[in-house]
Amino acid sequence: MKGIVYLVGAGPGDPGLLTARALELIALADVILYDRLIPSSALEGAREDAELIYVGKEGGGPSVPQERTERDLLAHARAGRTVVRLKGGDPFVFGRGGEEALALRAAGIPFEVVPGVTAGVGASAYAGIPVTHRGLAGAVALVTGHSREDAAGCAREDDAGVDWSALAAFPGTLVLYMGVRRLPQIAAALIAAGRPAKEPVALVEAGTLPSQRTVTGTLETIAEIARREEVRAPSITVVGPVVALADELAWLGPRPLAGRTVAVTRARTQTSTLARRLEKLGAGVVQAPVIRIRQLPVTELDLSPYDLICLTSPNGVEALFEQLAATGRDARALAAATVAAIGPGTARALAAHGISADVVPERFVAESLVEALAEIPVRHALVARAREARDVLPDALSARGAEVDVLALYETVAEPLDAAALVSARQADYITFTSSSTVRFFLQACGGEAGLSPGTRIVSIGPVTTETLIEHGIAPHVEAERHDVDGVVEALLTDALARGD
Ligand code: SAH
Express each pLDDT in 167-220 by its tens digit.
999 999 999 999 888 999 999 999 999 999 999 999 999 999 888 999 999 999
Instruction: Specify the number of domains making up the chain.
Output: 4
Query: What is the rounded distance in angstroms from the CA atom of residue 111 to the CA atom of residue 83?
Result: 9
The pairing of beta strand 430-433 with beta strand 457-460? parallel
> Which residue CA neighbors atom 6 of ligand 1 most closely?
89
| Per-residue pLDDT of the chain in tens (501 residues, 90 and over written 9) | 679 999 999 999 999 999 999 999 999 999 999 998 898 789 888 998 999 998 886 545 566 788 889 999 999 999 999 999 999 999 999 989 999 999 999 999 999 999 999 999 999 999 999 999 999 999 999 999 875 433 444 444 444 568 899 999 999 999 999 988 899 999 999 999 999 999 999 999 999 988 899 999 999 999 999 999 999 999 999 999 999 999 999 998 888 998 899 999 988 776 678 888 898 898 988 989 999 889 998 888 899 999 999 999 888 999 999 999 999 999 999 999 999 998 888 999 999 999 999 998 877 778 888 888 888 889 999 999 998 888 989 999 999 899 999 999 999 899 898 888 899 999 999 999 999 999 999 999 988 888 888 899 999 999 999 999 999 999 999 999 988 888 999 999 999 999 876
Do 352 and 453 share a structural domain?
A: no
Look up the pTM and report it: 0.70
- H helices of 281-384, in order, are 314-326, 344-352, 366-372
Q: Check pocket membership of 11 for ligand 1, CB cut-off 6 A.
A: no
Q: Please say which residue of 58, 81, 116 terminates a domain.
A: 116
Which atom of ligand 1 lies nearest, measured to the CA of 120? 8
Residues catalogued as catalytic = 35, 57
* DSSP three-state, residue 328: coil
Q: Check pocket membership of 207 for ligand 1, CB cut-off 6 A.
A: yes
In sequence order, the 6+-apart residues with CB closer than 8 A to the CB of 375 are none
Span from the CA of 28 to the centroid of ligand 1 (angstroms): 26
The pairing of beta strand 380-386 with beta strand 338-341? unpaired
Span from the CA of 347 to the centroid of ligand 1 (angstroms): 41
In sequence order, the 6+-apart residues with CB closer than 8 A to the CB of 335 are none
Check: CB of residue 295 under 8 Å from CB of residue 387.
no
Q: Residue 325 carries which side chain, given as an amino acid letter?
A: A
Span from the CA of 260 to the centroid of ligand 1 (angstroms): 21
Which CATH number covers residue 281? Answer: 3.40.50.10090
Span from the CA of 6 to the centroid of ligand 1 (angstroms): 20
Residue 192 CB neighbours (<10 A):
12
Domain hosting 279: range is 261-290+415-499
Do 404 and 298 share a structural domain?
A: yes
Query: What is the rounded distance in angstroms from the CA atom of residue 466 to the CA atom of residue 459?
Result: 9
Span from the CA of 121 to the centroid of ligand 1 (angstroms): 10
> CA dist 257 to 236, 282, 443, Å?
23, 5, 25
Q: Check pocket membership of 93 for ligand 1, CB cut-off 6 A.
A: yes
* DSSP three-state, residue 387: coil
Do 435 and 461 share a structural domain?
A: yes
Q: Check pocket membership of 95 for ligand 1, CB cut-off 6 A.
A: yes
Q: Indicate whether 200 belongs to any domain.
A: yes
Which atom of ligand 1 lies nearest, measured to the CA of 37? 19
> Which residue CA neighbors atom 2 of ligand 1 most closely?
89
Do 487 and 475 share a structural domain?
A: yes
**Contacts of range 96-102, beta carbons closer than 8 Å, 24 or more positions apart:** 96/66, 96/155, 97/7, 97/9, 99/66, 99/70, 100/5, 100/7, 100/69, 100/70, 100/73, 101/7
* DSSP three-state, residue 294: strand
Span from the CA of 448 to the centroid of ligand 1 (angstroms): 36
Can you say whether the dihedral through the CA atoms of 158, 234, 200, 182 is positive or negative? Answer: negative
The maximal CA–CA distance of the chain, rounded, in angstroms, is 89
Q: How many residues does the chain have?
A: 501
Q: Check pocket membership of 89 for ligand 1, CB cut-off 6 A.
A: yes
Q: Indicate whether 256 belongs to any domain.
A: no
Query: What is the rounded distance in angstroms from the CA atom of residue 368 to the CA atom of residue 27?
Result: 38
Q: Indicate whether 254 belongs to any domain.
A: no
Query: What is the rounded distance in angstroms from the CA atom of residue 274 to the CA atom of residue 285?
Result: 9
Do 447 and 384 share a structural domain?
A: no
The number of C-alpha atoms within 13 Å of 344 and in the hemisphere containing its C-beta is 8
Do 131 and 174 share a structural domain?
A: yes
Do 298 and 283 share a structural domain?
A: no
Do 361 and 427 share a structural domain?
A: no
Which atom of ligand 1 lies nearest, measured to the CA of 90? 7
> Which residue CA neighbors atom 25 of ligand 1 most closely?
235
Q: Please say which residue of 414, 449, 480 terminates a domain.
A: 414
Q: Check pocket membership of 155 for ligand 1, CB cut-off 6 A.
A: yes
Q: Check pocket membership of 157 for ligand 1, CB cut-off 6 A.
A: no
Q: Check pocket membership of 119 for ligand 1, CB cut-off 6 A.
A: yes
Q: Among 92, 154, 186, which is best to mutate for testing ligand 1, by the most ligand atoms less than 8 A from CB? A: 154
